[in-house]
């Protein structure tokens, strides 16, 4: 594995850019059965004195089933060159195909989840909390995001491990 552990407080990337512009793969499951999906909504921060990641997933998404079943989820962030792979993972369902193989991604499994060799940053999160989005609580008009009334479920997870791609510098080997 070409990753090194990274303390969440040492993240140099802008989280707004990571999530909104670069996108991420949300993954859950185990080696026998897992799914991943592309997302561009979420957040990073502090809650209950813990480093947390927040994600939202619609109940209609196949990944939702895995988020409900497993205690961990992962977030994988990629370089621009993987935009086509992330587009594929966001437009095809794992119910219908092996989208990880079609996207050319290499899964890595550990005790707490799945992430991808091609990622530049990985966050392994243990679920702490979930809540369904309630449209009665909108204080501004957000219904444009829900024409089918398929409101997201919010998951908040403690970032237990964070990894960044480790680039070997040939000078370090001398």
Q: The domain 3-166: what is its CATH number?
A: 2.30.110.10
Q: Distance (Å, rounded) from C-alpha 113 to C-alpha 36?
A: 11
C-alpha distance from residue 4 to each of 7, 47, 122, 140, 168 (Å): 10, 25, 10, 42, 11
Instruction: Report whether 75 contacts 123 (CB < 8 A).
Output: yes
Q: How far is CA 159 from CA 8, 29, 97, in A?
A: 8, 17, 30
Query: How confident is the prediction along the chain (174 residues), in pLDDT tens digits per residue?
Result: 589 999 999 999 999 999 999 999 999 999 999 999 999 999 999 999 999 999 999 999 999 999 999 999 999 999 999 999 999 999 999 999 999 999 999 999 988 889 999 999 999 999 999 999 999 999 999 999 999 999 999 999 999 999 999 876 555 555
């Amino acid at each position: 594995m070409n990753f090194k552990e990274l303390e969440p407080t040492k993240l140099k990337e802008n989280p707004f850019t990571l999530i909104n512009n670069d996108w991420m793969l949300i993954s859950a499951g185990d080696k026998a059965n897992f799914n991943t999906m592309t997302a561009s909504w979420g957040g990073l921060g502090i809650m209950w004195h813990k480093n947390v990641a927040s994600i939202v997933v619609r109940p209609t998404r196949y990944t939702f089933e895995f988020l409900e079943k497993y205690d961990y989820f992962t977030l994988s962030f990629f370089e621009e060159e993987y935009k086509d792979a992330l587009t594929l993972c966001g437009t095809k369902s794992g119910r219908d195909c092996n989208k990880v193989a079609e996207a050319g991604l290499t899964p890595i499994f550990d005790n707490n989840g799945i992430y991808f060799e091609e990622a530049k940053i990985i966050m392994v999160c243990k679920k702490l909390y979930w809540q369904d989005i309630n449209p009665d609580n909108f204080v501004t008009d957000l219904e444009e995001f829900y024409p089918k009334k398929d409101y997201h479920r919010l998951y908040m997870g403690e970032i237990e491990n964070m990894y960044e791609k480790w680039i070997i510098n040939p000078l370090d080997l001398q």
